[in-house]
Copies of this chain bind each other. A is one copy, B any other.
Amino acid sequence: MESETKSGRRPGNPQTREAILAAAMTAFTESGYAGTTIRGVARAAGVDPALVMHFFGNKDGLFGAALAYGGVPVRQLTESLEGDLDTIGERLTARYIALWEDPEIGPRIRAVVTSAATSPAAAAILKEFMIHELAGPMVKLLERDHPEKRALLAASQLMGVAFARYVIQIEIMTALTPEEIVACVAPSIQRFLTGDLPLR
């Protein structure tokens, strides 16, 4: 027989799982990977820590599930790839910067990147994300040699700009308008994706 928690939520309830994931996303975003605990997430969601463990196994499992639940709307990025290949660099860069500029989504992506820098488990999740969710759809579209390498070179460049502007927040980078960033960076993305590259 299922026991009820302090908040009255039933453990097996889908809302309970969602409440845990929402609390986890908030915790990872505000406190980072290292600063987030199963116990703290359970308290915020009004459930027993054992239930969090039951659903997600450990902190890594919770991190991955929280990302998939409310993390980064990858679909918006992959949608931006559709269209003329000659302007794919500008579409992708503009959509990517728009996600980081979004007051809700930006801090979440930031939490993923900073977590990946310190936790091997979080790095593995970010790698999976970059390879399958971000680079994967590009690879299918590109009609040139070495599509995986091209996609990852482009993704690396996008990540570097975001790291400087949104993670460590270098003032010269934060002083640029989003439009300037896109206009400056898009040609590099375009070259990586469709230009001549000396890849073997």
A positions within 8 Å CB-CB of B: 32, 34, 113-114, 116-118, 123, 126-127, 130-131, 135, 148-149, 152-153, 155-161, 163-165, 167-170, 172-173, 176-177, 180, 183-185, 187-188, 191-192, 197-200
22 contacts between A and B (CB under 8 A): A34-B118, A113-B117, A116-B167, A117-B167, A127-B168, A135-B172, A149-B176, A153-B173, A153-B184, A153-B185, A156-B161, A156-B163, A156-B165, A156-B173, A157-B161, A158-B160, A159-B163, A180-B198, A180-B200, A183-B198, A184-B197, A188-B192
Name the contact of A168 in the complex, choosing from B123, B164, B184 (C-beta under 8 A): B123
Residues of B within 8 A of A159 (CB): 160, 163-164
Q: Is B170 in contact with A152, judged by CB distance below 8 angstroms?
A: yes
Assembly CA distance A126 to B117 (angstroms) = 14
How far apart are A190's CB and chain B's nearest CB, in angstroms? 11
Q: Is B160 in contact with A184, judged by CB distance below 8 angstroms?
A: no
15 further contact pairs, Cβ within 8 A, besides A118-B118, A127-B169: A114-B117, A116-B117, A116-B168, A117-B118, A130-B168, A130-B170, A152-B164, A153-B161, A157-B160, A159-B163, A160-B163, A180-B198, A180-B199, A180-B200, A184-B199
